[in-house]
Chains A and B, each alone.
Chain A
């Protein structure tokens, strides 16, 4: 699902965010990406979604070779990826329903199909009764669940999460992780960037550890 082959990312200032990173995430696999802040987690996720482009190396995501992907093809790549942010990034002038519907709207899905799938996604995260609310009236955990519903509503084969529990307390974090496991069980590949080692350690998944831009550990269950 994701293939990194000797990928480096150097920013214009000369600072190297990633150097020679290689790994492969299989379809249907769930893994954590960890490391201190500034270790390159966010840079790696940005390369997968083509927010930024690699300076060297090859990246293949869901069959798209990113080095050769033109600007106009980026939307098609992103429609295959569900992205979850630490700060949720919801649109505050739209209802929960409209926020979740957005990925379907951009693909031009017909209205009645949109409603059905939005409700299904909201049901999955347990917010079916709040579809008419505005994001600001929800708690942090609820807002993140709206963000997750938005990320999965169009059934992408790959889910990326950037510190999804960074702003949540341990109990809510557990709930969110359970949701991710649920999606993984139905075949979605999941890559979660997080520095919450305690939470990661309590779960039986592969862990990729970055330090100063290098992949220093790739294996199961750090800290166990």
Chain B
């Protein structure tokens, strides 16, 4: 009978174990969720101090985030303008139309070049006559004083240095009289953006350190004020992990709250800047506008806040919980 029972008994046992594991896991998650919510409840019972700590963390996070956003926009702007950078090749006088056209085609086939456009001397004269308002002056001239022109649009992926070398190469072509590119400012803008970005990185690291210390110190005070509670729970048989948990979750909430405050501050600033920026851009004939924080940025900021909050909590908890033992 026992032999008949064994096969049916085994899977049952395995099922029961699996069920037990599942129930254990559920209990584990349930407990963590409980502590998480309990920590939030505890924070909400001291709204003023919680708000102040969260605000400080928020400001510390908002500063690098906001600066980064501004630089990002400036870089975008630089990118937009770079698309309009073109190399103008003024061809030698007397170059045949046919030859010039062939040169333009050949250049357009190069990898560094996105496209070319040839304007013949006759076309140039026509355009000049149409747009300049000096048509009569031209009539007084005998012959066409204007040279042929090829405008070269460099590939958009080309870095400023490569554009510069492309320019040098084109300038050396025998058909070309003058090659022109005003891109000095693009290069300057780029190195300026790089410099500012490096600066922001330094500021961000310093402020992250500040957040770490703020959370750490706040939790240190929290631990100190709950010393008796910690002693009693230790006496009752709580593990270090159990005692650590509420403080870690408090750090989590501080970090998350701080990141939300930072998002609010950054976007609020963007709203305030939107009007003036648009007016300024309008004066330059640009339709540039400030965007809000991108989803990627939101996630990055929230993650950074949470990580810093947890790290600060770990710092404080590791340093102080061990010292509190029943006497």
Contact = CB atoms under 8 A, between A and B. Distances in A.
A75 interface: yes
Interface residues of B, number: 19
B27 A108 contact: yes
Interface in B14-68: 27-28, 30-31
A70 to B, nearest CB: 12
28 contacts: A49-B235, A49-B326, A51-B235, A51-B326, A76-B237, A77-B237, A78-B234, A78-B235, A78-B237, A79-B237, A81-B237, A83-B236, A89-B235, A91-B228, A91-B229, A91-B232, A102-B232, A102-B233, A106-B233, A106-B237, A106-B238, A106-B239, A106-B242, A107-B237, A108-B27, A108-B31, A110-B27, A150-B236
B229 A103 contact: no
A84 B235 CA distance: 10
Nearest to A99: B232
Contacts of A81: 237
B142 interface: no
B19 to A, nearest CB: 14
A108 B237 CA distance: 11
A49 B325 CA distance: 12
Contact of A108 (B28, B234, B235): B28
Chain B contact residues: helix, strand, loop or mixed: helix
Interface string B230-253: 001111111110100000000000
Closest 6 CB pairs of A and B: A79-B237, A78-B237, A106-B238, A75-B237, A75-B239, A51-B326
Nearest to A80: B237
B27 A103 contact: no
Contacts of B31: 108
Interface in B150-198: none
A164 to B, nearest CB: 15
Which has the most chain A C-beta neighbours within 10 Å: B30, B228, B234, B239? Answer: B239
A111 interface: yes
